Amino acid sequence: MRNKYYHSIKCSNPECKEYGHFSAGTRNEYSELIKRHKSWTCCRHTKPNEVLSSENNTLESSQFVVETSYGKFWSNDSQGKPGSGFTFGPGFKAYADDFSVGTKLTVTARIEIPSIV
């Protein structure tokens, strides 16, 4: 069994306590990983508008069915680069082949915070 090389790095935002955990299969990959993650920032500080919070409690994401010469795929925009022919998330799965070109899949995530009585 081969060794795995692990690396943890703290978010570069001085007030953040998040750590990123990465692994590599070889020493070469590990060296590249160290170089690539010299300064790492967690998603809360890289894309804060994509993190659910009490102020930002609903997020929507859409994908569209696009067709290429080699099949139908889901894409983040109707004219964009094709992704996968299958997409999934909590509670759903969808094959692009099952829908016509231009079909829009919208996934909504909403946090419902209970009121304290």
Confidence band of 93 (pLDDT split at 50, 70, 90): very high
Give dist(CA 74, CA 66) in Å, integer: 6
How large is the average pLDDT for residues 82-93? 92
The rounded Cα 40 to chain-centroid distance in angstroms is 16
Contact 65, 102 (CB under 8 A): yes
Burial class of residue 53 (count of CB atoms within 10 Å of its CB; 0-12, 13-18, 19+): exposed
pTM metric for this prediction: 0.69
